[in-house]
């Protein structure tokens, strides 16, 4: 799907579900990682994460477009367009728009690997760290004892 086709789809959904015209552009932005789409306040354009479309298909894309159109139309009208605003939540419910989109698994954040294990000499409390630390500078948070590297 191209950006022109996406803009046409957004215009169709806007007229069908909101009864209002979408007069700006919609485009794919592959730099989006943690969200399905976003509405740009200054330019009034809508950006969509192409990974969400590829992984979840047209139904998810339509849901993201409806969500962003809620932001768009409320902002244009000067009403509450933020997630916390009552106007926004009511419009989501009226149009059947999702509040959240599905998280793209390939972009999902994973916990960092803890490579270094430090232990207190006195109380044997263990601390896992991703980055090596200077044991002469730091002490145990529980008993103020000295730390030593237990394993890498």
Closest CA to 48 of 23, 60, 65, 71: 65
- In whole angstroms, give the CA distance from residue 65 to residue 122: 58
**Catalytically active residues, by annotation:** 68
Q: Which residues pair with 149 in a beta bridge?
A: 118
Q: What is the DSSP string of 76-113?
A: HHTS--STT-HHHHHHHHHHT--SSPPPPGGG---PPP
The beta strands (E) that lie in 7-100 are given as 26-28, 37-39, 46-48
């Amino acid at each position: 799907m191209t950006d022109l086709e996406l803009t046409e789809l957004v215009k169709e959904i806007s007229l069908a579900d909101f009864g209002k015209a979408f007069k700006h552009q919609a485009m794919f932005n592959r730099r989006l990682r943690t969200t399905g789409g976003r509405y740009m306040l200054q330019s009034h354009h809508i950006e969509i994460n192409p990974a969400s479309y590829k992984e979840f298909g047209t139904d998810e894309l339509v849901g993201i477009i409806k969500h962003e159109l809620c932001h768009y139309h409320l902002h244009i009208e000067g009403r509450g367009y933020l997630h916390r605003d009552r106007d926004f939540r009511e419009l989501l419910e009226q149009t059947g728009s999702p509040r959240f989109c599905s998280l793209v698994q390939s972009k999902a954040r994973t916990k960092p690997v803890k490579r270094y294990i430090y232990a207190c000499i006195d109380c044997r409390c263990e601390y896992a760290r991703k980055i090596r630390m200077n044991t002469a500078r730091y002490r145990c948070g529980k008993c103020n004892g000295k730390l030593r590297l237990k394993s890498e």
